[in-house]
Chain A
Amino acid sequence: MINKTEITQEALSILPPIMTANNVDVFYGKKQAISNVSLDIPENQITALIGPSGCGKSTFLRCFNRMNDTINICRVNGEIKFSGQDIYDPKVDVVALRSRIGMVFQKANPFPKSIFENVAYGPRIHGLAETKDDLESIVIQSLKRAGLYDEVSDRLSEPGTSLSGGQQQRLCIARAIAVDPQVILMDEPCSALDPIATAIIEDLMETMKEKYTIVIVTHSMQQAARVSQQTAFFHLGELVESGDTQAIFTNPIQERTQNYISGRIG
């Protein structure tokens, strides 16, 4: 256990971050939702964003794959780099960007199509499979990685919406994995799930991080402590404190962080 922590500590400091945010401000119309946030996302690690409701976690997360572009009144200032490339550069194609940075939403949102089609849609629009067999193997592999294959292997043609809540969320994870992204953003993926389904997804993230970088927004501090290596605490649109998860939870520097993790800001 101690060994492992040492390795992650080392990794955090040595590996160059896959994504960096520099002085990011986000406005909804005139209202500022995020002010001057800078954060590095280390590769193949899980970064947890925590903070009270309305503090801007989702807003900040959505900057990483430019999902905020879909909101008319939303404006993003500052610099966010992915593998050294500024993603808000006009030359960047947001469609290509989102195929590298996938997203899983708070409420499972499978397409009202078959399980197979749900997973196959991404590879299909990005032309990742040359033949039908390729596509099938991508779908099966993605479902396996999302730990869902055993449960649905005999009913791939049934609608994705017929699955249970936890299965739907894993279907959404499989769908995100299928386009082979480097980063997966997760916005409270377990908030609508029971503890067992949550545990399954947490285990899943543990294995997923070998291949992907994960940024997760969560309301559950236990979850952040369990799954993440880095934690960032937001309050009122500001990044109060970020760093190694264990350090944040055992020994926070800021008083506000201290108050939040001990339950005094909610």
Chain B
Amino acid sequence: MPDYILSTSNRMAKRHAREKRFKWYGRMAIFISIAFLVFMFSAIIFRGASAFQQTKIALDINFSEAIIDPSSSRDPELLKRANYKPIVLQSLSNVIPGITERRDRNRVYKLLSAGAVFDLGEQVAEEPNILGKSKKVWLLASSEVDLFMKGKIDPNISEDLRRLKDRDIKWIKILQSEGRIKKKFNTTLFSSGDSREPEMAGILGAAIGSFFSLLVCFLIAFPLGILTAVYLEEYAKKNFLTDFIEVNINNLAAVPSIVFGLLGLSIFLNFFNLPRSTPLVGGIVLSLMTLPTIIIASRSILRSIPQSIRDAALGLGASKTQTTFHHVVPLAMPGMLTGTILGMARALGETAPLLMIGMVAFIVDIPKGITDVATSLPVQIFLWADSPEKGFVERTSAAIIVLLAFLILMNLCAVYLRKRLERRW
């Protein structure tokens, strides 16, 4: 046997070694990227997980009619704005002994969130029958108490270095021993808008702002993008003009998103006077940004549809439009939808253009339509990351988790749609 066909021969051994080496380079690369991903996700989840819980304090509230609604008007607006502080203070001093001085009373009151009385007001306005009765109510604890309960404040460091003093901790211990302080699922995070107080802040406003923006973006970019792609691919003659358009679409796809924000600012806000900081303008700007992506993706899908399908339809006497919309577009639709959803996923994570059109304001109210002022999830993350309060650290991570969950959801949607439409051939 000639030795050069043996794997032990010098030349073959060298070749095998090289092959092995390249395999290992590839594995290393994959390993490193996965390690980065795992690191990133676990860091975010590790930091954010605690934000899904919120400390609450249970108090037996005596809904005294004389204090809440002395005029017996039962007007919900009055009930909401009534003075609940004395009632809450009374309940607190029933639980915690020895708080008689005004300073102590104010201090112990601070264990609760400033939002606690609002919650009480909402509750009474909703069911005024509760007036005159007594009931155990779970109230929001302040952010400092929350952090302490989550073990994020070390009671052993010098008292001057923390905002939660030894006295506060003593009171917390009393509440704890009575089972009146507990971490519960943080519903506020999913049911409120932004707030200056971490414990009262939620992402619902931002999520809905994002939803409306994406809705506008989809309604504009999807039909425009697909019709453009279909026209350029199926109808337009190849000439100087279409080449020019093609080059420009490719250029647009590469334009940094902040430029689209500037465009939105100068055209939609300053020229057309559309309402500032709204999902309407945000959606339009995002649609400009996603349009080139959708067009490029759709065109490449259309190009991949075999000519034989078009020939088959044309040969039967179908018109160009029938051929396109009965056969080519349905076949391309899953791919075009996937391209669109991926483009929208990118738009969902976009911050810069929204900053330019003012969707960066501090907005407490939850937007009810596309013309209400709103912010968006990534901008909310940006705002919270920028806040000095310690309680926002975990909430920032929680918001990132929610954003990532939405992105994964959208990608799953893309996969599902593609599977479903493919099965129908």
Q: What residues of B have a CB within 8 angstroms of the CB of A96 in the complex?
A: 317
A159: Cβ under 8 A from any B Cβ = yes
Interchain nearest-CB distance for B307 vs A (Å): 9
Q: Which partner residue on chain B sits nearest A117 by CB separation? A: B425
Q: What residues of B have a CB within 8 angstroms of the CB of A112 in the complex?
A: 309, 331, 425
A99: Cβ under 8 A from any B Cβ = yes
CA gap between A176 and B312 in the complex, in Å: 9
Q: What residues of B have a CB within 8 angstroms of the CB of A214 in the complex?
A: none
Instruction: Tally chain A residues at the interface, Cβ within 8 Å.
Output: 28
CA gap between A121 and B309 in the complex, in Å: 13
B319: Cβ under 8 A from any A Cβ = yes
Chain B 327-342 interface residues, beta-carbon cutoff 8 Å to A = 327, 331
Knowing A72-B237, A72-B238, A125-B322, say if A111 contacts B309 (CB, 8 Å): yes
Q: What residues of B have a CB within 8 angstroms of the CB of A179 in the complex?
A: 316-317
CA gap between A122 and B306 in the complex, in Å: 20
CA gap between A122 and B316 in the complex, in Å: 6
Knowing A72-B237, A112-B331, A159-B425, say if A105 contacts B316 (CB, 8 Å): no
Knowing A111-B327, A112-B331, A125-B322, say if A70 contacts B317 (CB, 8 Å): no
Among the listed B238, B311, B312, B317, which residue makes an inter-chain contact with A125, where contact means beta carbons less than 8 Å apart? B317
CA gap between A123 and B331 in the complex, in Å: 21
CA gap between A151 and B303 in the complex, in Å: 34
CA gap between A89 and B382 in the complex, in Å: 66
Contact between A102 and B316 (Cβ–Cβ < 8 Å)? yes
Contact between B310 and A70 (Cβ–Cβ < 8 Å)? yes
Knowing A99-B316, A176-B315, A179-B316, say if A107 contacts B308 (CB, 8 Å): yes
Q: What residues of A have a CB within 8 angstroms of the CB of B322 in the complex?
A: 125
A261: Cβ under 8 A from any B Cβ = no
Residue among A105, A111, A175 facing the most chain B CB atoms (10 A cut-off): A111
B232: Cβ under 8 A from any A Cβ = no
B152: Cβ under 8 A from any A Cβ = no
Contact between B315 and A67 (Cβ–Cβ < 8 Å)? yes
Contact between B318 and A111 (Cβ–Cβ < 8 Å)? no
Q: What residues of B have a CB within 8 angstroms of the CB of A95 in the complex?
A: 317-319
Knowing A72-B237, A113-B425, A121-B326, say if A99 contacts B317 (CB, 8 Å): yes
Residue among B237, B306, B311, B326 facing the most chain A CB atoms (10 A cut-off): B311
CA gap between A107 and B306 in the complex, in Å: 12
CA gap between A172 and B312 in the complex, in Å: 9
Chain A 154-174 interface residues, beta-carbon cutoff 8 Å to B = 159, 161, 172
Among the listed B237, B310, B316, B331, which residue makes an inter-chain contact with A175, where contact means beta carbons less than 8 Å apart? B316
Contact between B318 and A109 (Cβ–Cβ < 8 Å)? no
Contact between A122 and B317 (Cβ–Cβ < 8 Å)? yes
**Contact mask for chain B residues 226-267; partner A; CB cutoff 8 A; 1 contact, 0 none:** 000000000001100000000000000000000000000000
CA gap between A126 and B316 in the complex, in Å: 9
Instruction: Tally chain B residues at the interface, Cβ within 8 Å.
Output: 20
Knowing A72-B237, A105-B312, say if A98 contacts B425 (CB, 8 Å): no
Chain A 84-135 interface residues, beta-carbon cutoff 8 Å to B = 95-99, 102-103, 105, 107, 109-113, 121-122, 125-126
Contact between B314 and A125 (Cβ–Cβ < 8 Å)? no
Contact between B317 and A109 (Cβ–Cβ < 8 Å)? no
Knowing A95-B319, A112-B425, A125-B322, say if A70 contacts B314 (CB, 8 Å): yes
Contact between A109 and B312 (Cβ–Cβ < 8 Å)? yes
CA gap between A45 and B134 in the complex, in Å: 101
A59: Cβ under 8 A from any B Cβ = no
Q: Which partner residue on chain A sits nearest B239 by CB separation? A: A72
Residue among A107, A112, A126 facing the most chain B CB atoms (10 A cut-off): A112
Chain B 378-424 interface residues, beta-carbon cutoff 8 Å to A = none
Q: Which partner residue on chain A sits nearest B327 by CB separation? A: A111
Contact between B311 and A105 (Cβ–Cβ < 8 Å)? yes
A242: Cβ under 8 A from any B Cβ = no
CA gap between A161 and B310 in the complex, in Å: 16
Contact between A161 and B425 (Cβ–Cβ < 8 Å)? yes
Q: What residues of B have a CB within 8 angstroms of the CB of A176 in the complex?
A: 315-316
CA gap between A126 and B322 in the complex, in Å: 11
CA gap between A252 and B53 in the complex, in Å: 94
Contact between A109 and B326 (Cβ–Cβ < 8 Å)? no
Interchain nearest-CB distance for A145 vs B (Å): 16
Q: What residues of A have a CB within 8 angstroms of the CB of B238 in the complex?
A: 72
Contact between A67 and B309 (Cβ–Cβ < 8 Å)? no
A65: Cβ under 8 A from any B Cβ = yes
Contact between B316 and A110 (Cβ–Cβ < 8 Å)? no
Q: What residues of B have a CB within 8 angstroms of the CB of A97 in the complex?
A: 317
Q: What residues of A have a CB within 8 angstroms of the CB of B318 in the complex?
A: 95, 121, 125
> Top 6 closest A-B pairs, CB basis?
A99-B317, A109-B308, A103-B315, A98-B317, A112-B425, A122-B316
Name 28 interchain pairs, CB-CB below 8 A, sorted by A. Answer: A67-B314, A67-B315, A70-B310, A70-B311, A72-B238, A95-B317, A95-B318, A97-B317, A98-B315, A99-B316, A99-B317, A102-B316, A103-B311, A105-B315, A107-B308, A109-B308, A109-B311, A109-B312, A112-B309, A112-B331, A112-B425, A125-B322, A125-B326, A126-B317, A159-B425, A175-B312, A179-B316, A179-B317
Q: Which B positions have Cβ atoms within 8 angstroms of A?
A: 237-238, 306, 308-319, 322, 326-327, 331, 425
